[in-house]
Structure 1
Amino acid sequence: MNINLIDLLKKKVSAIVLEGETEYLSEKSQALTSFFPILLSIFKSQPELIGRLQNQLNPRLTDIFTNNPALKHQFLEQISGTVPTGAMESTLNRSIALVLGVLEIEAGSAEPSAMVHLIETHWSAVSNALPYWATALLTALGGGAVSGQALHQAPEVASSQNIEEKKKSAFLLPLIAFIILAVLLALIFRACSGKKETEPVGGLATQTISNEPAKLQLSTGASGGLTTCQLYSGNANYINILQQEIKQVFNHNMGCGAESNANYHTEFIDQDAIPSVLKLVKGVPNASLTWMGNQLSIQSANPIDAQQLAAEIQPLVKNMTVMTQAANNTAPPVDSHAVMSTGNSNAEKALAEINPDHIRALDIATALNMQIINFDTARANIPEANKSILDQAAALMKRAPQVKLTVKGHTDAVGNAATNKTLSQKRAQAVVDYLVKQGVDPAQLQAVGYGQEQPIADNSTANGQFKNRRIEFEVLNTETGVTREVNDQGIKKQ
């Protein structure tokens, strides 16, 4: 192969990640250049990591440093320079999925073994691009295969070199090894110091660190499929495991919104029963479940459904109290601002991770359906928070004329049905008009208003009304002629 893998990643990944960036552009570009060979070296020594990251919707640095979060902090401090570490981490996070995409294309396969073979084929270019400080990092991460090779090995010298040069080499090799060992010991010492700083002082209880119980909240729609899900835990590894379980049980490709930090406990009470409980909840219409501490709360639009579900779950969670409530009376109000902010942020990230040279219609639809377009009452003006997301989608659609979208408008059941249908049509058309204004071919778009005809939640509650007021995207790929809709149960052929 004639390509330089590092140059290829700089061309295909850096350009996408840094598009639209205005702050620290040069520093972030340089950091990505240093990060690519480090990431490839980690993949080479840990092929199983490739598979784990491929299963993540948004793979992050945290997934790489799962067993050594202190080392991640050290790494970010080293690579960030003058850039705030939070901003740098976000930049590097966005690059991981794109790097995997390039490796898959170049290797001709998504198999980790094929990607590792590709890296090995280009190992000379990868190792030469490694920054000088990366050796200690890779060693600390367990990259024995990497650290055991010379990262900046000079070409073999001719046999005519004199004995004096060989003596110098014999002196320098132990010196270099000593320097590497010193750097590694310094990293370990700093990591240990960081851990000590978080330990309780003067006998204070450890609850000052993790004082919130782990929490799982989810709800189903009218067909019993997953509609919303939030997960909070201090154990990032378990979050990943539970995410996969939820995606599999509900046939849902996006899973939960998740938050992992030290404020939350690392384990759920009776957490081994969670998969079995999920299977029981699946198929129950308009139900919600909250698993927090030693209490499991079940709510349903139909009280009989909630009672039956509680009776089936109670034997599985012997250390918990199962409570039932009627959703239309006691469901807590939706934090609409938080839900919209999370959805819109996820949509922006998903669109940014689409390879502009390999655009799939389903990827655009999935990303757009993550956002929440919350129109003002009786208005059809697109909120400012959604315009940047639609701008990203428009840029992709202009590059992919085979992609066609049907924009579907829905309302709640408050008010006159005919008025609601007209309003939903206007809102869907407003989205179409905005995309066309950004340069999308009008032939790629169609607006349809359904009014209150297709609810996904109970219209008798404020929470249900919020869920029903929505814009959805249905995709027709002219290459296949197959219409696919992204709904509460994943992808549905029509």
Structure 2
Amino acid sequence: MDIIGHLTRTVTPAVLGSDNDPAKKSLLEQFYAVFTARLADKETYGRFANENIARDDQGFYDRVWTDGSHRDQISNELSSGHNVDPTAARGLIAMAAPLAYHEIKSLAGTTPVPQFLNDNLSSYQHHIPAWAAGVVPAGMLMAAPAGERISDTTSMAPLVHEEEKSGSFMKALLPIIGLIILGALAWALLRGCQDNPEPVATPIVTEEQVSEEPVAAVASDIELASLRVATGEGNTLYACNMNVGDEALQNTVMGAMSTTFGAEADKCVADVDDSFAADMPAAAVLADILPIIQSSPNASMIVKGNEIIVNSPDAAALEQLVADLQAAAPNMMVSAEGPLDLQGEIDNSLAAADVAIGRLGENPDPRDVARALSIQVINFELDAAMIPDINKPFLDRAAKLITETPDVQLTITGNTDSLASDAYNLDLSRQRAQAVKEYLVSQGVDASKLVTKGAGESNPIADNSTEQGRFRNRRIGFTVYDESVDGNGAAVTAGNSSDMGTTTTGNTGMDVNMPDPDLNPLDDNNDDVLPDGDDPTQGTVLDPQ
């Protein structure tokens, strides 16, 4: 059983997509060995043995190694050992962990995973690097001969060199000559027996490879469909966003939302794209679970895959919400959202965004570019619009991508939570969007490719009653400009499906970068370059050019 070889054939293509970087492939191969050794520990595996781990659960890696210093050591060692950018390295292993977990479970079959991995230790032990001694169970590393150091490279089998004895050259050469002759005879026989001989480079398919599940079952780039709902006071719908693969699923979800929330369901913003799944496991129980979230004011719910994650500022209400939802949807995994890990969210978002860019390939769809850029979290300091240093390397890469993508024109939208006044938040969101544009332009992006907009607090994607919800609402979103506003001026989406928050465009405060009607008839400024007949509240004179 070649566990590492199996993971390399199945998981690596799913993680890297069209990226054929040998360094990243080597990095993943070594990570599989460290990850496999960790799962061989009964206590570690027992923490999530009964969980339904989603294939895109990029937080799973953090649950396998709960010690942050261990996670840092793994990503840093893999990054430096394979000459891969540290942020990219963390993103790769975060994506690979849940996929590798599913493949290992599949290989184990009915055998408990730790037992299976310990029984097959010899198939991956020699891949475990020496630096992993502190992050894998004791006894996993292959013992080095006395006085020798175990190599830090993927293969740790010690090289054995014996001095040649005098006169032994021809003795050593004879077996080699014999093998060459036998090989030539076998090749001639094989050629003579084949009517349609395979090309010389055709790989041999072993019995083990034939029996494995098809790679396509793992290598899909499709994101899980998702629904996010937040309630306000008095059973009102505060925010609603969905990422779905087709209009049929959109209609199913909207039907359930309309049944529960009535006309308020019109607030729902949908990103319909074939990069998302066209099915949703929770679709069959939406009619049962939506009334439960509606009855809990200032609450939020994220439905993705087989998981439902909820939050509420009231601890007792949150506990009851989890119990009620689990009873209504017994086949779903229902849990309360954990405390906000700000630095972890930022790091994970940058890693995921970096991987998303790496998977775009040549001549990407501008909508996919916008989604990838929107995954990142830009955590501005309080009352400030200065780009954090941690985001600059990613924005540098984003600038190169935007420059190289033809016919792409993006809207950068700033969004805030609701803790300050509407006017203050609107102005701050504009400043932050403009700061992102100026940084990208400083890195070589044509300014005409970028439009900025401040939406303030007008387009929440989560509740503003919890720390986690406010964090998601404070975001910078990228959208394709010609899809930013439809013919009726309604908000549409071209955002991402990550747990950092779906990006939606706003309806307020467009900066003067290109002609467009005034998007906010209630503000006190003229911000378009058309006659203000489109907005009678602003008069009828032209805006200053």
TM-score between the two structures when normalised by the length of structure 1: 0.46
More strand by percentage: 1
Which structure has greater helix proportion?
1
Q: Bigger radius of gyration, 1 or 2? A: 2
